[in-house]
Amino acid sequence: MIEEITIRDLGVIGEASLPLGPGFTAVTGETGAGKTMVVSALGLLLGQRADGGAVRSGSAQAVVDGRWNVPDDGPVAERVRDAGGDVDAGELFLSRIVSSEGRSRAVVGGRTGPIGVLADLADHLVVVHGQSEQIRLKSSSAQRAAVDAHGGAPLAAAASDYRAAYEGWQRAQSELDTITGDRDARLAEAARLRSAIDEIEAVAPQPGEDAELDATAERLSNAEDLRLAAGLAHEVLSTDAVDGTRDVLSLVDEARRQIERVSQHDADLQAIADLLAEVSVQVSETSARLSSYLGSLDADVSRELESVQTRRAELGALIRKYGPTLDDAIALLDDGSRRLVELDGDDDRVAELAREVDEQQAEAVRTADVLTDLRRASGDDLARRVSDELSALAMAGAELVVEVSPRGELGASGADRVELLLRPHSGSEPRALGKGASGGELSRVMLAIEVVMASSSEVPTFVFDEVDAGVGGSAAIEIGRRLAMLAEKAQVIVVTHLAQVAAFATNHLRVVKDASGAVTASSVQQLTGEERVAEMARLLSGLPDSESGLEHARELLDLASSRSTASS
């Protein structure tokens, strides 16, 4: 519920504060005083598009502040906190600032936030009916939503069951379409994988094998140089040459013996003798390893090298086709095998999905039938009750017709096309609201629908702008009475020029203009007592000081008070 709206420099309004609160608030004023700016201000707080031209002439910006009472644990508070704002003890503050250049920003719960947050909150805070908002009732989705909302919890549960069945059917159908639609491509992929797996399995590569083969090929390609160098080194270290040439091992041993012969004369020489003994051992071990290495060199190097090169060529072919590395080719063997199992199982999956599609479709059809029956019952009841309301709103003989017809296929909202039609008078053909109703008639149809649906509506505030256009006399009194009935269950704010409507308000605000040179400023006054009587007289006759007008105003207020009491 809106507690208060403050407006600064919007249109002709210089600065005004609108105390609202619960019940029925009527906003009146002279033509051009800025009554519609009240609705425009509320629209800005609800995230509607900002227009720099709406900023009061000579001002840099317009500011609209709103104070709401909302539940601390409701969807509004949750969305505000998601946006970084806060709801303080049930009070929510919203603000919209619009510059004369058309730029705007929003403040939500004390924090600057995106304009879109205001639009998100709008559906939970206010329903606005005006000449520009009448298009809402012409929308097929809005008409279906109205019928569904009127159906209450049973229809909401049926709609939820249908959505679950429909979405399950669509998921299964989408997967089936993907598999069957890509069948040729999947068959080709399976053939390629099968060929690759056969080729890789035939070669049977091992991790790191290519690096080992490279090293082996390098060794075999230089086998003669390796044999010659190792042989010469072995001869230098240890040899049994008969030409008297002495090798390293014999020279080291000779040196060790010479040192050991005199080491008893100097203790330092013993350490050197020990080092020479270690050198002798190392030379001997090195000579033995060279001998073993020479023995390992295969005499038939060319045949071994040919075998290595052949293997390298096989691995190289795999790397070129499935690389860039041998590990990639080996990984393809594992990953491709798993993918091949998946592709080869398409036939089984297709059969399984086909069964699932049939089952889910059957469930969607069944739940759609239930939804249709409930919608027809809700539509009939809504049409009957709204038609009763229209009779009292200067539309005698008019009927609302709710047509629930098959759309020929299942959709996200069911199998139905829901349309609200208006039969202007008995015997005439019902026509779509957008074609069969004037602006004033459409406003009254919307009012009748809101009055009927108020008990099931979760929106706390309704705003009507000129809902009484084209109406007068007793019909206007009935409009006022029905707005008062709606106000028993929700907050109602009405911009009106009819005293018969304003008489039923529990809170009467007047927008007053004060011409000052080229600039017109407006302010808002809360009327009580004789001030309200004078405003009612002005609305009735244009003469706020006329005794007959004042008497008529008092009579109308007494009539509205008695009818409101009787209806409650």
Q: Is 222 helix (H, G, I), strand (E, B) or coil?
A: coil
CA distances from 254 to 257, 269, 288 (A): 5, 15, 20
What whole-number distance in Å separates Cα of residue 327 and Cα of residue 314?
A: 14
What whole-number distance in Å separates Cα of residue 199 and Cα of residue 333?
A: 10
Q: What value, to the nearest 5°, has the Cα angle with vertex 431 and ends 428 and 435?
A: 125
Q: Is 90 left (phi over 0), alpha (psi -120 to 50) or beta?
A: left
Q: Which residues of 530-562 are buried (b: 16+ CB within 10 A; e: fewer)?
A: eebbbbbbbbbeeebebeebbebbeebbebbee
Q: What tokens were used for 79? A: 């969305």
Q: What tokens were used for 476? A: 């206007």
- Dihedral pair phi/psi, residue 534, rounded to 5°: -65, -40
Task: Give the tens place of pLDDT for each residue, 29-40.
Answer: 887 666 777 888
Q: Could you say which DSSP state residue 49 is in?
A: P
What whole-number distance in Å separates Cα of residue 326 and Cα of residue 349?
A: 34
- Dihedral pair phi/psi, residue 204, rounded to 5°: 55, 60
pLDDT digit string (tens) for the chain, length 568 residues:
899 999 988 888 888 888 998 999 999 888 766 677 788 888 899 888 888 888 888 889 999 999 999 988 888 888 888 888 888 888 999 999 999 888 889 999 888 988 888 888 887 888 777 655 554 566 788 789 889 988 988 999 999 999 999 999 999 998 888 877 666 677 777 788 888 888 888 888 888 888 888 887 887 788 778 888 878 888 888 776 545 567 888 888 888 888 888 888 888 888 888 898 898 889 889 888 888 887 777 666 767 788 888 888 888 888 888 888 888 888 888 888 887 776 665 667 777 888 889 999 999 999 999 999 999 999 999 999 999 888 877 788 889 999 999 988 999 999 999 998 888 888 788 888 767 666 667 777 877 887 787 666 678 888 887 766 666 677 788 888 888 888 888 899 998 888 999 999 999 999 887 765 344 566 788 999 999 999 999 988 877 778 888 888 898 888 888 766 555 5
Pairing mode of beta strands 24-29, 491-495: parallel
What whole-number distance in Å separates Cα of residue 229 and Cα of residue 529?
A: 124
CA distances from 292 to 189, 219, 302 (A): 54, 16, 21
Q: Which domains does the chain have, with CATH numbers?
A: 2-130+430-567 (3.40.50.300), 188-344 (no CATH)
- Residue 68's nearest CA partner among 59, 57, 76 is 76
What whole-number distance in Å separates Cα of residue 374 and Cα of residue 414?
A: 12
What whole-number distance in Å separates Cα of residue 85 and Cα of residue 411?
A: 38
CB burial of residue 476 (10 Å; 0-12, 13-18, 19+): buried
What whole-number distance in Å separates Cα of residue 340 and Cα of residue 192?
A: 10
What whole-number distance in Å separates Cα of residue 565 and Cα of residue 245?
A: 139
Q: Could you say which DSSP state residue 54 is in?
A: G
Helices within 297-345 (DSSP H only): 301-322, 326-344
CA distances from 208 to 217, 322, 333 (A): 15, 16, 16
CB burial of residue 351 (10 Å; 0-12, 13-18, 19+): exposed
Task: Give the tens place of pLDDT for each residue, 401-438.
Answer: 999 999 889 999 999 999 988 888 887 888 887 676 66
Is 377:150 a contact under the CB 8 Å cutoff? no
